[in-house]
Chain A
Amino acid sequence: MLELIRQLGRSGISQFEKLGRANLFMLKTLVGFHGMLRRPGLLVAQLWSVGVLSLLIIVVSGLFVGMVLGLQGYNTLVDFGAEESLGVAVALSIVRELGPVVTALLFAGRAGSALAAEIGLMKATEQLSGMEMMAVDPIHRVIAPRFLAGFISMPLLAAIFSAVGVYGGYFVGVGLLGVDDGAYWSQMQAKVDLYDDILNGVIKSLVFGWVVTWIAVFEGYDTIPTSEGVSRATTRTVVYSAFAVLGLDFVLTALMFGE
């Protein structure tokens, strides 16, 4: 019994140590940003691998989520004779919640795990150590560009997801189910507010981008440099990112959309 408590305490302390390391790591990364002004090529290369290569899954998912929302929304609203409001239902769901959150989860799964694995592997094959011995700070050269790329990509990907989703709902609702074209857009435009809904959605995706990329990059950097350690780091990235995104989503929603 006592041993259990001792173990709990030990793991708790090590979690706090990890949190401290993660924060110091974040500060060092922020300091490393100025180096990228001299070397924009690094950032561009990372935007490619983190942002552009995630486009496919984001667009496809956005399309299907929008189409399903159109279908489900229609089925529910038609009982109240309110199917003209389908545009509002689809747009608000996506712009406020599904856009930022689903994009963040998909991003964590695709780009986040890739980042963690890549950095972890660099650590395991002593590339990071080698860079240090060549008097190049690996945090400035390897970590900072990847972090900035994730932070920039996330809101863009979320916006693409939302736009594609709204049109997906349009395709199903208006194209297939016969909702009035004008009603779909006009009701939506009346009810969706630029600041309250769209801007808040963008803010959410910025916060998610920061947190997910931070987790991915740190797990890779902090990993035990063995193949087992790297694979565990990759898994942890996705799991912790999911927790963080969903938890932060609740907090942000309460702050933004509560009274």
Chain B
Amino acid sequence: MTDTPNGKDNDTLVRIRDLHFSRGARKIFDGVDLDIPRGGITAIMGPSGTGKTTLLRLIGGQLDPDRGSVQVDGLEVQKLSRNGLYELRKRMGMLFQSGALLTDLTVFDNVAFPLREHTGLPESMIRDLVLMKLQAVGLRGARDLMPSELSGGMARRIALARAIALDPMMIMYDEPFTGQDPISMGALVQLIRLINDALGLTSIIVSHDVKETAAISDYIYVISNGKVVGHGTPAALDSTDSDWVRQFMHGLPDGPVPFHYPAPDYAEDLLNQAP
């Protein structure tokens, strides 16, 4: 992977140009350009609330941009018909922050769900496929549990098995490392890299866990205040000139994003005693 992502169409899976999106009065994206190359793991990072999840929804067609274009595999997402959008989604896998497993189905039925809905495969074949997917994430023995009986880490791994059930071309991970203990974190990190390489997928990770994400990503975009403030390989960003990116990547408490919320002068505030 070179420093700048290749702009050619067959090398870029997701192409975002001049993206503008507002929610109410708040401008979430103010002219964002992104290229997600095929075959690797690309991370989109930034402070909480910058709309990283919104970006995934825009790519998946759950939201429409106010202005600009979002292309996936050469297709303009917002221009797709309902059927076209559904066909595209069958080729995308998405891992939600909470796993989003269907609570009234067993683990087995959850992973089998996309297969039963979209393929006409017989139950015997579906059984084999489900067991293979569960084996890939190491939870084949958990197949008869209910989602309420799973720990958070296990639920995410089951959701990952479900996301790869239809052998998609890409997977989007929404904050996969949040709130994980070190062991399940390590397992998940390894799984994401393994699955990406073994299945030849393109992975997009949205996260603010710098250490874990940087460890497995091939390329990183840092977004803040609705704009891309930095992008590059993990090594390049680590030694960046930008103050902002450095504060974020190294987790410095004070810098371009200040520690103190705007307030009047400290001495005056204490002495005045006026509210």
Contact = CB atoms under 8 A, between A and B. Distances in A.
A134 B103 CA distance: 16
Given A129-B62, A130-B94, A136 B117 contact: yes
Interface in B92-124: 92, 94, 96-98, 100-103, 113-114, 117-118
A126 interface: yes
A127 interface: yes
Contacts of A129: 62, 96, 100
B117 A133 contact: no
A4 B62 CA distance: 36
B113 A134 contact: yes
B25 to A, nearest CB: 15
Interface string A130-153: 111111110000000000000000
B153 interface: no
B89 to A, nearest CB: 4
A132 B101 CA distance: 13
Contacts of A130: 94, 96, 100-102
A135 B90 CA distance: 6
Given A125-B98, A126-B98, A133 B92 contact: yes
Given A127-B102, A127-B103, A129-B62, A135 B118 contact: yes
Contacts of B117: 134-136
Nearest to A137: B86
Contacts of A132: 62, 89
A133 B60 contact: yes
B114 A134 contact: yes
Contact of B89 (A121, A126, A133): A133
A126 B100 contact: yes
B9 interface: no
Contacts of B118: 135
A135 B101 CA distance: 15
Contacts of A122: 103
A131 B90 CA distance: 11
Contact of A126 (B86, B90, B96, B114): B96
Interface in B136-191: 162
Nearest to A131: B102
Contacts of B113: 134, 136
Interface of B: 60, 62, 86-87, 89-90, 92, 94, 96-98, 100-103, 113-114, 117-118, 162
Interface of A: 121-122, 125-127, 129-137
11 contacts: A125-B98, A125-B100, A127-B101, A129-B62, A130-B96, A130-B102, A131-B102, A132-B62, A133-B62, A133-B94, A137-B86
Given A129-B96, A135-B114, A136-B117, 19 more contacts: A125-B98, A125-B103, A127-B101, A127-B102, A129-B62, A130-B100, A130-B102, A131-B102, A132-B62, A133-B62, A133-B94, A134-B90, A134-B114, A134-B162, A135-B87, A135-B90, A136-B113, A136-B114, A137-B86
Q: Which 8 pairs show the lowest CB-CB distances between chains A and B?
A: A130-B100, A135-B89, A126-B100, A135-B86, A133-B94, A135-B90, A126-B96, A134-B114
